[in-house]
Amino acid sequence: MNAIIPWTAIRIKAAKGREKIVCLTAYDYATARLVDEAGLPLILVGDSLGMTVLGYANTLPVTMRDILHHTAAVARGVKNALVVADMPFMSYQVSVSQALANAGRLIKVGAQAVKIEGGELRVPTVRALVETGIPVLGHIGLEPQSVQTMGGYKVQGRTPEAAAELLRDARALEAAGVFALVLEGIPADLAAHITSAVSVPTIGIGAGPRCDGQILVLHDMLGLIPGARQPKFVKRYAELGAAAQAAIANYQREVEAGTFPGTEHCY
């Protein structure tokens, strides 16, 4: 029997051009086990947990405490995937030393890498993290933590100037040492161009099919939150929210009718 080799940041980086890097978010022990046991190489404890798990309108209220709590739970469920913790808003922006201290706390609870949003501006932070031994996943394009300055969740890089700036950001982050780069909400042709221009893998979300990998929010692709607003780039692979509602209604009916518990459920 072939031994399973756990994924590392170095192995993800080396996968560029060899295999598609299939990634998902997970936020707790149960979802981490589902994703890890499917064999996916990278699990992101995304700050999207602010919306999917905590019920906020955006990612801005998410705290270090939230991400620490959920990263620890995910790490307990994962055997092989690389666990990447998303650094929440204002946990890395104030200073490089603050970013180092907070990233260190995430590593101590089980993350193997961290993700931060931003381009050239983040070069000193990425350098310091990588030099300290903490692998960094970059994130450019639509940066949800900048929703206030972007004026909403808008596709980025549509003008030649904006596209050139994103390419510069990608190259700067590559030189600073990221092991991979999330490209969110940018035109597919620009994502393909950036993918061919950098030596690190690109992981797309709303960035078309010509990235080195893809990531989706688990709750979106499983249809876990009935009636949730769904961006165009999401494909729903299941309707688990509706299935859960049907199961709960069925349980309620059976308890009310006295048909649950049945004799097989009794001691």
Q: Which of 82, 66, 204 is nearest to 134 (CA)?
A: 82
Strand partners, 180: 137
Q: How far is CA 69 from the centre of its chain?
A: 16
Using rule CB under 6 A, residue 103 touches ligand KIV? no
Site string for ligand KIV, 196-235 (x = CB under 6 A): ---------x---------x-x------------------
* Structure tokens, 153: 């969740």
Distance CA 123, CA 109 (A): 25
Tell me which of 165, 184, 239, 264 is the catalytic residue: 184
Stretch that binds ligand KIV, among 46-54, 92-100, 246-254, 255-263 (CB under 6 A): 46-54
Distance CA 267, CA 119 (A): 61
Using rule CB under 6 A, residue 182 touches ligand KIV? yes
Please name the residue that has the structure tokens 């907070």: 102
**Among positions 15, 25, 78, 195, the unique one binding ligand KIV when judged by CB under 6 A:** 25
Using rule CB under 6 A, residue 31 touches ligand KIV? no
Q: Min. distance of Cβ 49 from ligand KIV in angstroms?
A: 7
Distance CA 212, CA 153 (A): 23
52-91 positions binding ligand KIV, by CB under 6 A: 86
256 part of the active site: no
φ and ψ at residue 211, rounded to 5 degrees: -90, 170
Binding site for ligand KIV (CB under 6 A): 25, 44, 46-48, 86, 182, 184, 205, 215, 217
- Catalytic residues, by residue number, are 184
